[in-house]
Structure 1
Amino acid sequence: MRILHTSDWHLGRSFHRESLLAGQAAFVDHLVETVRAERVDVVAVAGDVYDRALPPVDAVALLDDALARLRAAGARVVLISGNHDSALRLRFGSALFEAAGVHVRAAPDRSWEPVVVDDVAFYGIPYLEPELVRAAWELPDRSHTAAISYAMERVRASSARHRASVVLSHCFVTGGQASDSERDISVGGVAHVPLPAFDGVDYVALGHLHGRQRMSETVRYSGSPLAYSFSEAGQLKGSWLVALDPGAPAGSVVDVEFVTAPVPRPIGRLRGELEELLTLPGYDSFEDHWLHVTLTDAVRPKSAMDRLRARFPHTLALAFDPVGAAPAAQPVRLSGRPEAEVALDFVREVRGEPAAPDEEDLLRQAIEASRVKETMA
């Protein structure tokens, strides 16, 4: 059996206000092609299908298209809800989907209800909010470990009746490396689930963390198909292709291969003085990237973003970290001082140099106009 493990599609997400829908559609095309080329039997989607509980209509349309095409390509689909999804909305129509070969597990009490394909049992454990299952499951404490352990105990009891078992779970396993784009799921400061909680099954397809990671040979994160923050620069995106042989004497998982996904636009981080970034040929390869740029000029350059975009048109974020900057100034007196003096001090502090004469005139005019409007009101 061949399983394609993917997760964290976050359909409907944008990247610094740039739409990612075209890139997500290209990833769906890639998935369908992989299913056909590799003769994939089951596509396992480990949560965060959408980016928010009420997704935009074009994201819903893309998921509808993806599921129909994956089934037409010959794969069954097992899909769970993540912490970004609305479990109730995602499982709408799931009984009908089940008959069509698309198996949605978004209700906690269905976590140990298997989807059986050729005597391989697939268990979908959706994102479990501990507070929502604590009373019903009589958990000993309000933690992700308690919730996952309860579900896995029942999964192991059920999986004993099958030749092999696969678990999908959306959680933070201890030792995983987070990115800036994941939503915090801490409960009382405890977000992690220990790796041994997943003992006793043949493969665990994890979702939630956006970088691909191998927690063990048989417990892995596929990561997100696209980069959703600049902290993911340099990450290889894609899915795990898992070959499973229930009759293998040394364990059912016989091979795991990473299938890389297409990159609609690479992302990167640049750091340096503005003139160097604008002139050095070593930065040519970044001209088509979405960029986060940190300028180290001692004095903050004027019109920095416009000048950067002349060479790097896809610059999305700009930060300043001046090298050799003077220590932060001591607090200054504000009470009783003219507004213009306070504002000009602020400009000097932020920029590292005083406002130009025309800027000072404009600032004084704005303050005066504001005062007049306030008086007339």
Structure 2
Amino acid sequence: MAMDPCKIMGFHLFITTLFLFLSTSANSLSYSKSFNELKNTEQMYLNWVKNMSSRNRSIFMEAKNKFQPCKTVKVHKNSKLGDFTTVQQALNSIPLFNPCRVVISISPGTYKEKIEIPMTMGYVTLEGSGAAKTIIRWDDTADRIGTNGKPLGTYGSATFAVNAPYFIAKNITFKNKAPPPPAGATGKQAVALRISADTAAFINCKFIGAQDTLYDHKGRHYFKNCHIQGSVDFIFGDGLSLYEGCHLHAKARTYGALTAQKRESMLEETGFSFVNCKVTGSGALYLGRAWGTFSRVVFAYTYMDKIITPRGWYNWGDKQREMTVFFGQFKCSGPGAFYGGRVSWARELTKQEAEPFISLSFIDGHEWLTNI
């Protein structure tokens, strides 16, 4: 995953502003006084970072969901038993500018489809017959050539992509069947699902892939009782997301990473929170890599198997990020949860520090998650 060249470098902006302040004050301040003010201002900055680590407001628009369906359609492999035989046909039956909740009921079967829901088609619910029974799968990778003659990229490799708000999926598996890449291979990112819209919920779903399985791209998202499987950065992106009661399963051959969160500014309120989850699998797994300069990930009340590497976290090869990331644990258990060997810039959170991350209020769930 390439770094965004347009990222906001809050720390650099702060240092530049500080330098200008000291320069313009040189005539009236002694060196020692300037140095003391530098230290004080630096402490103010560190306090700012600390305050931003807890979320007590929202930059997102107020969410007003719709739950009462105005239309229900059924997908079945047998055309005599349903309205459509493919998920794409069912989606095509919905108005492009959809104003109300549409429920698509999907019967058991493996649906070999690559699907993208446009941004205007809000309020869509997909209900499978059980994650073990209803499977939507494809096998694209980032280096595969698309219809425009260019590689798809990570963004375009998704089996299932959602660009519309208020999406709900229940009891379905989203799978990218591309084989695990050999060590050192490039362009083999293979996304099972990409969610690029606000206010989406996934209940009892499975996301199966190898590298970059779940692209938690942007928006507020809720994952409950889901199974997410991969090897490297298999939950990644810049979403503001709560994962509750999920099973995170690594299939790493050597080293892998569970998360790669891409928060790029201290002003962003994004981050991943995992509450009452379980981490199992193979390989040596980092809990997270700092894809973004201000990457933010918290694990609370989570069982961690022995596959977690003692250091726990990786700075993406940039030591400056150790000053700005927010990586924390709170009351986790299991042989991989031992905090003694963690990197010095990770945190064992207090109850007060953990509270903003462990309830639905983290994603403003009281506004849009009722009745799901």
**Could you state the TM-score of these two structures normalised by the residue count of structure 2?**
0.25
Bigger relative contact order, structure 1 or 2 (CA pairs below 8 A, ≥6 apart):
1
Q: Which has the larger radius of gyration?
A: 1
